[in-house]
Amino acid sequence: MMGIVFNLLEAAVCRTYGEARWYQLLDKAGLDGAYTSIGNYPDAEAFRIVGVAAEVLQLPPGEVLRWFGRESMGMVAERYSLFFTDHSSVRTFLPTINRVHNDEVRKLYPGALLPQFSFEDAPADTLRMVYHSSRSLCDLAQGFIEGTALVFKEQITVEHPYCKLRGDHQCRFDIRFRELMPANSPLVQD
């Protein structure tokens, strides 16, 4: 797992629950937490932190991942604004993710295992996106999608009608768009 993911998780936890809670999670997970953004770390460490967080917050691990995705996308947009400036909607941004992964992420993480997304025909108000990854972190992906909507101040609903974790043949998201949120509306918080 890319070091940046650990950094984002740390930032999200610290911002919402305070730094002490992060150390609590690390201690419970038995990790020292010295993650650098350009490093690559075992997936198991991330899963351990998420597992401990689920225990502490008494939430299913999937919910924790979804929260993390939603929470961290604003930080991603701040840190890598270059990839967002040409877009004003989830609808145009999401289809560029594969390219961003291939062209940009691999520059820093040549061996990284990155998810790929494909898009299928859907009704006009819907973006149908299929998630491909051996890690099956579809809840995190859903959180990222929802977080992206927050960045663009869009109101969307994300349905997850098929999921490999539930035994389906694919992980699919149907993203429905509604009218724009008022510009000064507060961000939705979990």
Partner 1 sequence: MPPDASDSTIAQLALLARRVEREHKARLAAEVLAEQGLRELYQAQQELRLLVSIADTANHASSITETLRFAVTSICNHTGWEVGHVYLNHQLPAPSPLRSARIWNDNLAPAFAELRDFIEQRRLVANDGWPGRVLAARQPLWIRDLAAERDADCWELRAAGQLRATFAFPVIIGEEVVALLEFSCTRVQDEDASLLSLLSKVGVQLGRAVERKISQDKLLYDATHDALTGLPNRQHFRQLLTQALLQAQQRNTQCAVLFIDLDHFKLVNDSMGHHAGDQLIIHVAQRVRSTLQRLEPIRHPDQYAQTLCGGAVVARLGGDEFTVLLENVTTESVPLQAAEQILELLKQPFLINGQEVYSGASIGIALSAPGYYSGDEILRDADLAMYQAKSRGKSRGKVFDRGMRDQAAKRLTIESDLRRALPRQEFLLNYQPIVALDNGEIIGFEALIRWRRAGVIVPPADFIPIADELGLIIPIGHWVLEEACRTLRDWQQHFPRQQPLTISVNVSPRQFRQPNFVSQVRQALHNAGIEPGALTLEITESATMGNPERAIATLLQLRDLGVKLSIDDFGTGYSSLSYLHRFPLHALKIDRSFIARIDGSFQSFQVVHSIMSLANNLGIAVVAEGIETIEQVGHLRALLCQFGQGYHFSRPLPQADVLQLLTRPVLCLTR
| Residue 133 near residue 115, CB atoms below 8 Å | yes
- Is 95 one of the binding residues for partner 1 (CB under 8 A)? no
Among 19, 43, 78, 120, binds partner 1 (CB under 8 A): 19
Among 8, 25, 35, 72, binds partner 1 (CB under 8 A): 35
Q: Of the listed pieces 28-36, 72-80, 86-94, 154-162, which binds partner 1 according to CB under 8 A?
A: 28-36
- Is 36 one of the binding residues for partner 1 (CB under 8 A)? yes
- Is 109 one of the binding residues for partner 1 (CB under 8 A)? no
Question: Where do we find the tokens 């899963």?
Answer: 47
DSSP 88: S
| Residue 36 near residue 28, CB atoms below 8 Å | no
- Is 16 one of the binding residues for partner 1 (CB under 8 A)? no
Q: What does the buried/exposed string (b/e) look like for 58-80 if buried means 16 or more CB atoms within 10 Å of the residue's CB?
A: eeeebbbbbbbbbbbbbbbbeee
How are beta strands 126-132 and 116-120 bridged, if at all? antiparallel
Among 11, 28, 39, 100, binds partner 1 (CB under 8 A): 39
> Which residues of this chain interact with partner 1, rule CB under 8 A?
19-20, 23, 32-39
